[in-house]
A and B are shown apart, each in its own frame.
Chain A
Amino acid sequence: MALIDLANPTRFLAFARAAIPIAGVLAAGLLAVGIYLAFFVAPEDYQQGATVRILYIHVPSAWLGMACYVVMTLSALGTLVWKHPLADVSQKAAAPIGAAFTLLCLVTGALWGRPMWGTYWVWDARLTSTLVLLLIYLGLIALWRTVEDPGRAGRAAAVLTLVGAVNIPIIKFSVDWWNTLHQPTSVIRLGGPTIHSSILTPLLIMAIGATALFVALHLSAMRNEILRRRVRTLRILAAQRGATA
């Protein structure tokens, strides 16, 4: 199905009605298998012990936190360049989900760091740039909530999202630079080239399941947003009719 076919909100709602249950069931199934593997099959890491099981949430949520920004960037391009009518719906729907996953990534990272590093938070490069990403998400959500007209809010948010997209690699680079300046290798990096397949398989399954969950959530939030705009339009029409009558 071409993207342009979904430009019609009614057609999108029909698509969403079909796609949301599929993605939801897929997510539930994959996550269930992933959780089973993570707790009952996957071995403990020889260094991290059982805390490696936190990473089965941490890594997928980190992945989604970033992927969601990519989705928002593409939607922002859709708003400003192609003027796709659903692009700003997609932007708005994605922001809270991305923020939630980024927050989850930070929380699980802190809970992993406490037993492993002895502290909930270090100003490690990755943690710091994830925190900045969360700040950007929250700023975008605040922007969406401030402007009442969805069209104007969408274009403003699109500009900010794109500026953020240009900036995030720069922020990442500068935080890396800053971090090596202040903290020479005090932190054990997880992973490296060799993650054993007994750990990698559940991780991948969890990641794919979480992505399916994201798709289901995003489509549902988009559907809600379309309905919200219909309600808004009907209210305005009703108010206008009331004013002229």
Chain B
Amino acid sequence: MIDLGPHALFIQLAWAAAGLVTLGLIAWVMIDYRSQRRQLAALEQAANARRRPAAPTPAVLEGAGVP
């Protein structure tokens, strides 16, 4: 690492904050994605189990996106 001069602490803190915010945003997005996927899968499974004799494809999903 190069010499950061007398204010090294501030520079390190600033970059640490930047890393923290970036990683935090990425983690938020990824964790949220996982949890939504999991919930969606669980709901689909429940729907499939209920309608197994009729249609196995979750047709309800197509129309049920954004209202």
Contacts and interface: CB of A to CB of B under 8 A. Distances in A.
Check A-B contact in the complex, CB < 8 A.
yes
A9 B11 CA distance: 43
Given A53-B4, A213-B22, A217-B25, A229 B66 contact: yes
Chain B contact residues, majority secondary structure: helix
A235 B43 contact: yes
A241 B47 CA distance: 10
Interface residues of B, number: 41
A231 B66 contact: no
B51 to A, nearest CB: 10
A103 B14 CA distance: 12
Contacts of B50: 241
A114 to B, nearest CB: 6
A126 interface: no
Contacts of A228: 32, 36
Interface in B26-51: 26, 28-30, 32-33, 36-37, 39-40, 43-44, 46-47, 50
Contacts of B14: 54, 57-58, 107-108, 111-112
A167 interface: no
A215 B18 CA distance: 17
Contacts of A97: 25
B29 to A, nearest CB: 4
B4 to A, nearest CB: 5
A85 B67 CA distance: 8
B66 A226 contact: yes
B47 A221 contact: no
A128 B65 CA distance: 41
A39 interface: yes
Contacts of A231: 36, 39-40, 43
Interface string A182-207: 00000000000000000000000000
Given A97-B25, A217-B26, A233-B64, 20 more contacts: A40-B2, A50-B7, A50-B8, A53-B11, A57-B14, A58-B14, A61-B18, A86-B66, A89-B66, A104-B17, A111-B13, A213-B22, A217-B29, A223-B33, A224-B33, A227-B33, A227-B36, A230-B64, A233-B67, A234-B47
